Chain A
Amino acid sequence: MTPSPPPPLLRLEQVSKRFGPTLALNNVDFDLHAGEVHALMGENGAGKSTLMKILAGNQPRDTGRILMDGKEIDIRSPRDASAHGIAIIHQELNTVPDMTIAENLALGHEPLTRFGTLDRRALGRQASEKLARIGADIDPQRRLGSLSIGMQQMVEIARAVSENARVLVLDEPTAALSRAEAQQLYQLIDQMRASGVGLIYISHRMEEVWQLADRITVFRDGAHIGTARMQDITPPDVVRMMVGRAMGDLYDHPPRTAGEVVLDVEGLAGNGVGPVSFTVRAGEVVAMSGLIGSGRTEVGRLIFGSDPREVGTVRIDGRPSMPSDCVDAISDGIGMVPENRKEQGLFLGHSVEDNIAISSLDRYVTAGVLHSSTIHAAVAEEMARLRLRANAIDLPVKSLSGGNQQKAVLARWLLRDSRLLILDEPTRGVDIGAKREIYEMIDALARAGKAILMISSDLPEAIGVSDRLLVMRGGRIVCELVSDATSEEEVMFHATGTAGDRAPQGHGDPQ
């Protein structure tokens, strides 16, 4: 041991970044030691991805210093980042699925023969060496796209390792992995830590963070909230740091009373899920829970007519709804906020008004002509209801924050005055303040007599916002729970179909 500790491998001092009106990072400090796994947690919009983009060289920082081994460095481009040994494994993989594994591994510095042509033999040899270094046993001549997502991720990590990465940032690496693949990844992370690489591990999964990390840092609203060693902190502490308040009051709503049945689903099947049967009443919020791939989104799409049904009946207010496409479903009184706001929900380059009005235009037509001023006024009214700034009405929707973008999609169905709202992950990628507003709006809509079916992967949210919970597994509804009388453990038990370290509590066990 030297008398003075060595400088950290990577150190960020007072780094700030502003995007238009939002301060994405506000004078944050962060450090990472060699041979350490440093978990970075925070809500969406907390500034994790901005920090990552700065490290990756995709966005320049506005102010602050970045030091490596105590020496200040400048990262202006991804090339700089790579030259300093910083590699990022993104959620969306940066690989070319149609090329072979070997070609992917060599991308950007392919070995050449002395005639300047591609040296295929060296390419294969180097690829085998790189894969061997991370202990992956894959044939480098296979097409990358033929591998599972987990294996593709391994290949990307192999590439980073081969480029002598000293800092490896992993952004929710296990989000798309099976349990076995995740275990394999954990082993690889341990291996890399032992070899002196510093790892920044971004994740939303508490248990995984506690299993892997040495230290944890929490960001909130672009600010550094705290850093602690894992043994000095508990998951509830981290949640409190992330949300800035105890979780309870985030979901608080006065009790609601359910009315008549609005949505009545009987034996509905199609698109690989079902049959499912359930009801949603007026003034009721029903959450659909379950693991990714359990069929929640598919059920929503079957009801909304965006995927074809095989069998089953759906009734809205007692009238059969048999949509052949979304147009029919909308005229039956159904509205859907899709899972992926940017890809399925919004016309990013179009104005907020156009985005909100698009599904209700038929109401504002006489003799084929649109009533522009009436539409404008009606849209402005919905925007005011949702506290969307009126002067945003003509701006492209892409200039709004994630939360306000989501409000624009919701406003579309408020304007349409749909009877049933299917909300698929309504708060994904939304900051905590907008989350709260969306919850309040869901509550207000229910009180106004709407029926709401909410699909959510966020368990506390699903339990906290809803009146009842339908848990799905393998395309079926495996049980129905009363939200006030269940716990995350109980939902997870049903969603996974396996007992955890303790037996599940029965119904009626208060939280």
Chain B
Amino acid sequence: MTKDTENLGRAVEPVRREPFDFARWWDRVGILVVLAALVVFMAVFAPNFARIDNLLNIARSISVNAILAAGMTFVILTGGIDLSVGSIIAVSGVVAVIAAIAGVPAPAAVILGMVVGAACGLANGALSAYMGLAPFIVTLGTMTFLRGLAYTITAGQPIVSSALNFRDIGNGYFAGIPVPVIVMAIVYLVAWFLLERTRYGRHVYAVGGNPEAAKLAGVRVKRIITSVYLFAGACAGLAGVIFAARVVSAQPTAGTGYELDAIAAVVLGGTALAGGRGRIVGTLIGSVILGVLSTGLILMNVPFFTQLLIKGVVIILAVAIDSLKQRTFSFRLPLFSRSAPPRS
């Protein structure tokens, strides 16, 4: 560009910064404050909570859900949803265990599980992006289908293999840290790098922010949409392998309802269900909050039924805060509010 186009125009719009903006503050640190409060509370009231071995246990127990939630974050950032990840856990676990029993070496069995998950995700993504079907419906369908597939392959019975060659990915330790925790850390590093440091990540946000504008700005929207489901599927496949390793068996019922925990972690972490807004770090914190909450409540001997009550309230509270900060005039529906009061 030459000098001709420099310094056009005159008017400068004053941009006022609000002295304190709750929304921005909450976006940045709100969820961390919740986590810190929760940890302090548990450290004080839950016996043995603050012991290293317990903290490592929490880390291990959240790893499956956290890995699922990492993939789910990509999907939700594009404005989609993936209900099938829980069923993918079962299918990939079953396939990996059967392969291991058939003599496939451990690393290959693990990768096979991931590939199976990625293939399921690819189907979700292609159906959503290229057939234009609603992701909610597509993944509701594949959720049911894949669960059925897991039951069919196993004839409804768990396949137990006490000599499972990849059991260490669920139960082992490396340098004193549980292996699934290390795997989780790697998944989050990769996810963070993709979202924050690559063009791909910006495109994911763009698709969620406004698909039409993204298309006209030069984003291959369909490809991006397909890829996030593929990534979510691969994450679910990996989670399925870890789950199978931990229980040292292939369970056709594995992962039932896990998709909802993953969604809860994502939303707790501040990612908008409408897409385009959120952070992968938030998802990790969201998963930790859910994990700390359940472990702490167990340590405090809170009955399981009550735990569910508390978890439900926490999720709704988190979303309520999220929607409160989004509050604008747009929540009014002129369609209905325009009419006069009902006549008697």
Contact residues, B2-17 vs A (CB, 8 A): 2, 4-17
Contact residues, B58-97 vs A (CB, 8 A): none
A370 touches B199 (CB 8 A): yes
User: How many angstroms between the C-alpha atoms of A88 and B338 in the bound complex?
Assistant: 9
Q: Which residue of B lies closest to A395 (CB)?
A: B15
Given contacts A362-B199, A385-B8, A437-B10, contact A108 B218 (CB under 8 A): no
Could you tell me the distance in whole angstroms from the C-beta of A446 to the nearest C-beta in chain B? 9
Q: Which residues of A contact B12 (CB under 8 A)?
A: 387, 389
Residue A149, interface by CB 8 Å: no
Q: Which residues of B contact A449 (CB under 8 A)?
A: 2
Interface 1/0s, chain B 1-40, versus A by CB < 8 A? 1101111111111111100000000000000000000000
A444 touches B8 (CB 8 A): yes
Residue A260, interface by CB 8 Å: no
Q: Which residues of A contact B297 (CB under 8 A)?
A: none
Q: Which residues of B contact A401 (CB under 8 A)?
A: 13
User: How many angstroms between the C-alpha atoms of A321 and B43 in the bound complex?
Assistant: 65
Contact residues, A356-373 vs B (CB, 8 A): 357-359, 361-362, 365, 368-370, 372
A163 touches B340 (CB 8 A): yes
A108 touches B339 (CB 8 A): yes
Residue A82, interface by CB 8 Å: yes
A79 touches B341 (CB 8 A): yes
B215 touches A326 (CB 8 A): yes
Residue A114, interface by CB 8 Å: no
Interface 1/0s, chain A 377-417, versus B by CB < 8 A? 00000001111110110010001110110000000101001
A107 touches B2 (CB 8 A): no
Question: Which of B6, B198, B329 has a CB less than 8 Å from the CB of A369?
Answer: B198
User: How many angstroms between the C-alpha atoms of A389 and B212 in the bound complex?
Assistant: 27
Interface 1/0s, chain A 426-469, versus B by CB < 8 A? 00000001101100110011011100000000000000000000
Could you tell me the distance in whole angstroms from the C-beta of A355 to the nearest C-beta in chain B? 9
Q: Which residues of B contact A433 (CB under 8 A)?
A: 10-11
B202 touches A306 (CB 8 A): no
Chain B contributes a number of interface residues (CB within 8 A of A) equal to 48
Question: Which of A81, A365, A385, A392 has a CB less than 8 Å from the CB of B5?
Answer: A385
A348 touches B209 (CB 8 A): yes
Residue A179, interface by CB 8 Å: no
Q: Which of A61-69, A262-270, A337-345 contacts B (4 or more CB under 8 A)?
A: A337-345
Q: Which residues of A contact B332 (CB under 8 A)?
A: 58, 78
Question: Which of A109, A412, A447 has a CB less than 8 Å from the CB of B217?
Answer: A412
Interface 1/0s, chain B 181-202, versus A by CB < 8 A? 0000000000000000111001
Residue B216, interface by CB 8 Å: yes
A306 touches B215 (CB 8 A): yes
Residue B323, interface by CB 8 Å: no
Given contacts A94-B335, A326-B216, A358-B217, contact A441 B9 (CB under 8 A): yes
Residue B220, interface by CB 8 Å: yes
Q: Which residues of B contact A392 (CB under 8 A)?
A: 13, 15
Residue A354, interface by CB 8 Å: yes
Residue A336, interface by CB 8 Å: yes
Chain A contributes a number of interface residues (CB within 8 A of B) equal to 77
Interface 1/0s, chain A 63-86, versus B by CB < 8 A? 000000000000001110111000
Q: Which residue of A lies closest to B11 (CB)?
A: A433
Q: Which residue of A lies closest to B3 (CB)?
A: A448
Q: Which residues of A contact B215 (CB under 8 A)?
A: 306, 325-326
User: How many angstroms between the C-alpha atoms of A108 and B9 in the bound complex?
Assistant: 49
Given contacts A21-B14, A349-B277, A354-B205, contact A109 B340 (CB under 8 A): yes
Q: Which one of B212, B218, B332 has the greatest number of beta carbons of chain A within 10 Å?
A: B218
User: How many angstroms between the C-alpha atoms of A385 and B7 in the bound complex?
Assistant: 4
Could you tell me the distance in whole angstroms from the C-beta of A219 to the nearest C-beta in chain B? 19
A59 touches B197 (CB 8 A): no
Could you tell me the distance in whole angstroms from the C-beta of B338 to the nearest C-beta in chain A? 5
Could you tell me the distance in whole angstroms from the C-beta of B343 to the nearest C-beta in chain A? 6
B336 touches A108 (CB 8 A): yes
Q: Which one of B2, B202, B206, B213 has the greatest number of beta carbons of chain A within 10 Å?
A: B213
Residue A96, interface by CB 8 Å: yes
Per DSSP, chain B at the interface is: loop
Residue B337, interface by CB 8 Å: yes
Given contacts A327-B218, A369-B198, A441-B5, contact A344 B213 (CB under 8 A): yes
Residue B210, interface by CB 8 Å: yes
A58 touches B197 (CB 8 A): no
Residue A330, interface by CB 8 Å: yes
Could you tell me the distance in whole angstroms from the C-beta of A209 to the nearest C-beta in chain B? 26
Could you tell me the distance in whole angstroms from the C-beta of A294 to the nearest C-beta in chain B? 21
Q: Which residue of A lies closest to B222 (CB)?
A: A325
Residue A350, interface by CB 8 Å: yes
Could you tell me the distance in whole angstroms from the C-beta of B260 to the nearest C-beta in chain A? 26
User: How many angstroms between the C-alpha atoms of A332 and B6 in the bound complex?
Assistant: 25
B338 touches A108 (CB 8 A): yes
Q: Which residues of A contact B213 (CB under 8 A)?
A: 338, 343-347
Residue A189, interface by CB 8 Å: no
Q: Which residues of B contact A81 (CB under 8 A)?
A: 338
Could you tell me the distance in whole angstroms from the C-beta of A345 to the nearest C-beta in chain B? 6
User: How many angstroms between the C-alpha atoms of A441 and B206 in the bound complex?
Assistant: 27
Residue A116, interface by CB 8 Å: no
User: How many angstroms between the C-alpha atoms of A77 and B341 in the bound complex?
Assistant: 12
Residue B104, interface by CB 8 Å: no
Q: Which residues of A contact B334 (CB under 8 A)?
A: 56, 58, 78, 90, 94
Could you tell me the distance in whole angstroms from the C-beta of A27 to the nearest C-beta in chain B? 20
Q: Which residue of B lies closest to A304 (CB)?
A: B216
Q: Which residues of A contact B198 (CB under 8 A)?
A: 365, 368-370
Q: Which residues of A contact B338 (CB under 8 A)?
A: 56, 78-79, 81-82, 87-88, 94, 108
B210 touches A387 (CB 8 A): no
Residue B219, interface by CB 8 Å: yes
B10 touches A387 (CB 8 A): yes
Question: Which of B2, B11, B13, B214 has a CB less than 8 Å from the CB of A21?
Answer: B13
B340 touches A389 (CB 8 A): no
Question: Which of B197, B205, B210 has a CB less than 8 Å from the CB of A348?
Answer: B210
Residue A20, interface by CB 8 Å: yes
User: How many angstroms between the C-alpha atoms of A94 and B335 in the bound complex?
Assistant: 6
Q: Which residues of A contact B10 (CB under 8 A)?
A: 387, 433, 437
Contact residues, A96-112 vs B (CB, 8 A): 96, 107-109
7 new A-B pairs (CB below 8 Å) besides A346-B213, A347-B210, A385-B5?
Answer: A79-B341, A94-B334, A107-B339, A368-B198, A389-B15, A392-B15, A414-B1
11 CB < 8 A contacts A-B: A78-B334, A78-B337, A82-B338, A94-B335, A346-B210, A349-B276, A350-B206, A357-B202, A361-B202, A370-B199, A387-B9
Q: A residues bordering B, Cβ < 8 Å?
A: 20-21, 56-59, 77-79, 81-83, 87-88, 90, 94-96, 107-109, 163, 304, 306, 325-327, 330, 336, 338, 343-350, 354, 357-359, 361-362, 365, 368-370, 372, 384-389, 391-392, 395, 399-401, 403-404, 412, 414, 417, 433-434, 436-437, 440-441, 444-445, 447-449
Closest 5 pairs between A and B when the two form their complex, measured CB to CB: A108-B339, A437-B9, A347-B209, A78-B337, A361-B199
